[in-house]
Amino acid sequence: MNFELLDLDAAHAGHEKCDVLLMLLSATFKPGRNPLSSLISKALKAGDLADKPGSLLDIYRPAGLACARLVLIQVGDAKSNPVRKGVQAAIALIKAAKPKQITLCFDQTPDGQALHVALTTLAEASYVYATTLSKAEARTITHVKVGVPDSTNLAIPFAQTVAAVRGIELAKEWANRPANHATPSHLARAAQALAKSPRIKCEVLNLKDAEKLGMGAFLAVAKGSAEPPKFIELHYKGAPKTQPPVVLVGKGITFDSGGISIKPAAEMDEMKYDMCGAASVLGVFKALAELQPNINVVGLIPSCENLPSSRAVKPGDVVTSMSGQTIEILNTDAEGRLVLCDALTYAERFKPQAVLDIATLTGACVIALGGVRSGFFSTDEAMSAALAKASESSQDLCWPMPLDDDYAEGLKTSFADVANVAGRPGGAITAAKFLQRFASKYPWGHLDIAGTSWKSGTAKGATGRPVGLLLHYVLSLQTSAA
């Protein structure tokens, strides 16, 4: 999907040749003297375009305009919610006609946030998964012109949004692929492909390397599967070496059966999405490759399958993590924290300014926050503030969750330094408390994306979240001297 930013007022928008002209109208719409403005004024006066945000009016071959079809979209105060709803409804309306060239116009120049929401929503609504279909229908919308009355201050937000869309779509692609088409080795190759871009390097550690490093927790999960584990290390170097990197750690369980503590059969297929954290790290690197900002970012992806077998780790087994802490694995389905804890220890070597892990970690987080906000855990104030800001600006929302020490009580055991599960209450928090033990050497945060990174049911599929959130966060760490 190609995006192009243009200066277009209503007069010029009327001259744009395209299959569909999507016209976003705010409550403060001021008509000019041109055919498009007159048409809009008439429609508003007649009440044919309701003033409720999200209302649409669909017009075929409008007289005096160059577009084949015009859709007027009421967006009220032009804030993110009505813009999202309006664009979603408009794409749903025109999708069946298979338009190729779309022009999306704003009557008032939007702020960066509204622009971001409009374009990410448009990309989301027109996305089609194609990889494993024999006769795939590719997405028809290939070219999108974005018209605003005055683009002067929008060049940077526009470039960031376009990069975010590229990253989101890469993340969706990998997350949607079935587990036999998205093994740890496939993910490693996808990371290596990103390293063809300037400033990006990739190194892939294999089983032997992980053994030498003493990654006993990661390897305990991996050993139930014949599929070789991969520990993927990505580097984006956009700033001098003296600037400490931010490290993003993505859970890369390419299939989570639960292991010996096996999950029920119903909907087990959805556990192919257990690498959405990993996919979001790949997505961020894709966006960094496009934007080339002056920051240093490290991406770490511990990747393996979680399967039962005669060689699989068993409930009650005690393993030694890379940190030296011993872990009693009481439930083999709590595997995410096991692969992450060794990655968190590995992250120490980069002397990072901050480490943020991203994981489809707990069903409990889905119960707590649903699909609207990701759970965010951190004791670092600077990081919490930065994430809250990024959550707003990207509209890829997260919400702060607690880390009181009392939540760690249930992780105590007589047979190891720590157990990998506590009881069911507060499950998202006890999981975070487990991770926190391995993240004491740097400012740390954790995002539980189990509810936000994919949708189940009929609209089953990856959302590409939280690529937008992560990108806005890492870009906020740029120094002003670009």
Q: Which residues bind ligand BES (CB under 6 A)?
A: 256, 274, 331, 333-336, 360-364, 366, 421, 427, 450
Residues 309-338 that bind Mn ion (CB under 5 A): 333, 335
Nearer to Zn ion, 10 or 253 (CB): 253
Residues 317-336, one symbol each (x = binds Zn ion by CB under 5 A, - = not), give -------------------x
Q: Which residue, 148 or 219, has its beta carbon nearer to Zn ion?
A: 219
Query: Which pair of structure tokens corresponds to residue 422?
Result: 């506590």
357 sits near Mn ion (criterion: CB under 5 A)? no
| β-strand partners of 13 | none
E-strand ranges in 360-435 read: 374-378, 398-401, 418-419
Residue tagged 């009881």 (tokens): 423
Nearer to ligand BES, 75 or 276 (CB): 276
User: Closest approach of Cβ 458 to ligand BES, in Å?
Assistant: 17
Residue number with CB closer to Zn ion (154 or 253): 253
Among residues 49 and 338, whose Cβ is nearest to ligand BES? Answer: 338
Instruction: CB nearer to ligand BES: give 106 or 174.
Output: 174
Q: Does 357 bind Zn ion (CB under 5 A)?
A: no
The CB-of-256 to Zn ion minimum distance in angstroms stands at: 4
Q: Which stretch binds Zn ion (CB under 5 A): 136-144, 268-276, 338-346, 423-431?
A: 268-276
Closest C-alpha to 96, from 125, 134, 75: 125
CB of 299 to ligand BES, least distance (A): 20
Q: Which neighbouring-strand residues pair with 356? A: 248, 445
Please identify which of the residues 337, 373, 433, 437 carries the catalytic annotation: 337
Q: Is 107 in the site for Zn ion (CB under 5 A)?
A: no
448 contributes a contact to Mn ion by CB under 5 A:
no
Is 186:278 a contact under the CB 8 Å cutoff?
A: no
> Residue type at 433?
K
The pair phi, psi for residue 412, each rounded to 5°, is: -75, 145
274, 305, 342, 448: residue in contact with Zn ion (rule CB under 5 A): 274
Kindly state whether residue 342 participates in binding Zn ion, applying the rule CB under 5 A. Answer: no
What is the per-residue DSSP string for 158-214? Answer: HHHHHHHHHHHHHHHHHHHS-GGGS-HHHHHHHHHHHTTSTTEEEEEE-HHHHHHHT
In this structure, are strands 143-148 and 2-7 parallel, antiparallel, or unpaired?
parallel
274 or 305, CB closer to ligand BES?
274
305 binds Mn ion (CB under 5 A): no
Helix axes 276-291, 184-194, angle to 10 degrees: 10
Q: Report residue 406 as tokens.
A: 């009392």
Rg of the chain on CA atoms, in Å? 24
Q: CB nearest ligand BES: which residue?
A: 363
**Which residues of 212-292 form beta strands (DSSP E)?**
230-237, 246-250, 252-256
- Partner from Zn ion, Mn ion, ligand BES, none contacting 121, C-beta within 5 to 8 A by type: none
**Which residue among 201, 263, 455, 460 is the active-site one?**
263
Measuring CA to CA, how many Å separate 431 from each of 140, 337, 402? 42, 7, 12
Note if 337 is an active site residue: yes
Map residues 243-262 to x or -, x wherever contact with Mn ion holds by CB under 5 A.
-------------x------
Looking up tokens 């294999």, which residue turns up? 206
Which residue do the tokens 């590229």 mark?
A: 166
Q: State how far Cα 249 lies from the chain centre.
A: 13
224 binds Zn ion (CB under 5 A): no
Which sequence positions are flagged as catalytic? 263, 337
Q: Give the footprint of Mn ion on this chain (CB under 5 A).
A: 256, 333, 335
Q: Give the footprint of Zn ion on this chain (CB under 5 A).
A: 253, 256, 274, 336
